[in-house]
């Protein structure tokens, strides 16, 4: 893998540029490809007080549904509201769990099978709080953040995925 | 300025566009009735309504410049 160092951010050139500045500025929705990065390079653990780093990557699955085999997913989002909802989830997580940093990024637009649609990273002093925080955040995103997915199948047909009411 | 009404997910396909502007409309129930009349497919759909990016339950008065959104059940991640 071809990594390029940019400040304290390492970008995987083979997978395009993750707009890390969007994460750091509190923007959580991107239409750019989320690449595989060395996450510990941008999480601030310089004084080594954190003993746990968890990352979750949601990946578009080549699902065999009753409508066809998934080729890609088109994510639709109410971006302004989604940004606010993710911010609220992050604030609730901060109140309820002990961690140092949490980063969330959700991709929208066309995402092919095998590509990352959601990235969550949690840096915490201890693993248990980190695990609880990352699970909470992922579940809340699926429940509350206004994002929808349209599965595109190999034969070109499509289906809007049934969501949570 | 008017009131902008946004549609997402499968509702975009039913309406055939991403948004509609109403020059003036009194409340959310009026928007709902108007849509059901113009797009009968809407009455079979499950959705939540957001007013200025906050989910609202029941009816609410609308002011000029407000943004309404019709949100089908969420399916992100």
pLDDT at A42 over 90: no
Minimal-distance CA residue of chain B relative to A111: B77
Confidence band, pLDDT 50/70/90 cuts, at residue A2: very low
CB A145 within 8 A of CB B74: yes
Q: Say if residue A14's pLDDT is above 60.
A: no
Q: Output the pTM of the full model.
A: 0.87
pLDDT at B6 over 80: yes
Is the model's pLDDT at A98 over the cut of 80?
yes
Which chain A residues are closer than 8 Å to B9 by Cβ? 76, 148, 150, 160, 163
**Cα dist from A22 to A47, A83, A127, A138, whole Å:** 25, 11, 26, 19
The answer, yes or no, to whether residue A21 has pLDDT greater than 70, is no
Q: A69 at the B interface (CB within 8 A)? A: no
Q: CB distance from A74 to chain B under 8 Å?
A: no
Share of chain A above pLDDT 70, in %: 76
* Average per-residue pLDDT for chain B: 95
Cα dihedral A151, A154, A157, A160, rounded to 10, equals -10
ipTM score assigned to the predicted complex: 0.94
Length of chain B: 77
The pLDDT of residue A22 is 44
Q: Which of residues 100-159 of A touch B (CB under 8 A)?
A: 106, 117-118, 138, 141-150
Q: Provide the pLDDT confidence category of residue B11 given band limits of 50, 70 and 90.
A: very high
| pLDDT above 80 (res A8) | no
Rounded to the nearest angstrom, the minimum Cα separation between A165 and chain B is 5
Residues of A in contact with B50 (CB under 8 A): 78, 81, 146
Enumerate the residues of chain B whose CB falls inside 8 A of the CB of residue A105: none
For residue A88, what is the enclosing H or E element?
A: helix A79-96
For chain B, what percent of residues have pLDDT higher than 70?
Answer: 100
Quickly list H helices, chain B: 10-15, 28-38
Q: Does B74 contact A163 at a Cβ distance shorter than 8 Å? A: yes
- A48: helix, coil or strand? coil
* pLDDT of the residue at A17: 41
Residue A37: predicted pLDDT: 56
pLDDT at residue A99 in the model: 94
**How does residue A74 score in pLDDT terms, banded at 50, 70 and 90?**
very high
- Confidence at residue A142, expressed as pLDDT on a 0 to 100 scale: 96
| pLDDT tens per residue, range A110-152 | 999 998 899 998 999 999 999 999 999 999 999 999 999 999 9
Strands (E), chain A: 3-6, 9-12, 29-30, 52-59, 64-65, 68-77, 101-107, 109-112, 116-124, 147-153, 158-160
């Amino acid at each position: 893998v071809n990594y390029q160092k940019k400040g304290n951010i390492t970008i995987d050139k083979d997978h395009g540029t993750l707009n890390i500045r969007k994460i750091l500025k509190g923007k959580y929705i991107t239409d750019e490809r989320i690449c595989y990065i060395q996450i510990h390079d941008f999480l601030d653990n310089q004084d080594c007080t954190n003993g746990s780093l968890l990352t979750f990557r949601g990946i578009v699955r080549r699902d065999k549904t009753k409508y066809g085999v998934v080729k890609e997913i088109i994510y639709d989002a109410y971006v302004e509201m989604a940004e606010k909802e993710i911010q609220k989830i992050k604030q609730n997580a901060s109140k309820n769990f002990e961690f140092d940093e949490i980063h969330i990024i959700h991709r929208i637009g066309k995402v092919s099978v095998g590509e990352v649609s959601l990235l969550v990273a949690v840096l915490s002093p201890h693993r248990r709080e980190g695990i609880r925080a990352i699970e909470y955040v992922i579940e809340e995103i699926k429940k509350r953040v206004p994002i929808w997915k349209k599965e595109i199948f190999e034969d070109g047909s499509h289906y809007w995925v049934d969501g949570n009411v | 300025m008017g009131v902008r009404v946004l549609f997402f997910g499968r509702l975009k396909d039913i309406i055939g566009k991403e948004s509609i502007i109403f020059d003036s409309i009194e409340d959310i129930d009026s928007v709902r009735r108007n849509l059901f009349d113009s797009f009968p497919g809407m009455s079979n759909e499950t959705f939540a309504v957001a007013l200025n990016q906050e989910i609202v339950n029941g009816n609410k008065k609308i002011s000029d410049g407000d943004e309404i959104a019709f949100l089908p059940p969420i399916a992100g991640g």
